[in-house]
Every structure is written in C-alpha cells, then in structure tokens.
Amino acid sequence: MFMLNNADNKNMRNSIYYLAIQVSLRIPVLFTPDNGTMQQLKKSGGLRLISKRAVADSIARYDVSTRNMETFDQIESK
C-alpha cells in the first residue's frame, strides 16, 4: 500500500508487480484448531459444570466460531 500511495510510484513498478504476484500465489494452509479440550468438555458434560453462564456461553461461541472458520477455509481452498 505504501508503494501504491507513494507519489513516486513510477520508480517502484517492478517491485509492485513482483509483490502483487507473490500475494496472488497463496499457499493453501488449512485452519486446524486443536480442539481436544473442547471435545473432552462436550463428551464428558463438562460444560454444564461451569457455574458462570457467560463463561459457558463464550466457550460455546468459540466452538461455533472455530467450526465456521474450518468450513470457510475449506470452501476458500476449493
């Protein structure tokens, strides 16, 4: 962005072109959360042992968010 916004960007054309190519060559990296603790909480019923409802809700939202990111990453990779 610095190069594009620079008033003297004519001298930076080669660099801008090179960097644009590098950005477009995205190496697919799948998002893989380490969800062992979450799975253990779910299977053992541990979430119900958390007395503060706000904390349990936050953990549940985190779980949904990570699953959504996994799905989005798979779609983006395709």
Domain chopping of the chain, boundaries: 2-77
State the pLDDT at residue 29: 64
Q: Find all residues with CB under 8 Å of 47, minimum gap 6, and list them.
A: 41, 56, 59, 60
The per-residue pLDDT for range 15-69, each reduced to its tens digit, is: 888 888 877 666 666 677 888 889 998 899 988 899 999 999 999 999 999 989 8
Copy the structure tokens of residue 55.
């904390």
Copy the structure tokens of residue 37.
């603790």
Residue 28's identity, in one-letter code, is P
Let me know how long the chain is.
78
Residue 68's identity, in one-letter code, is N
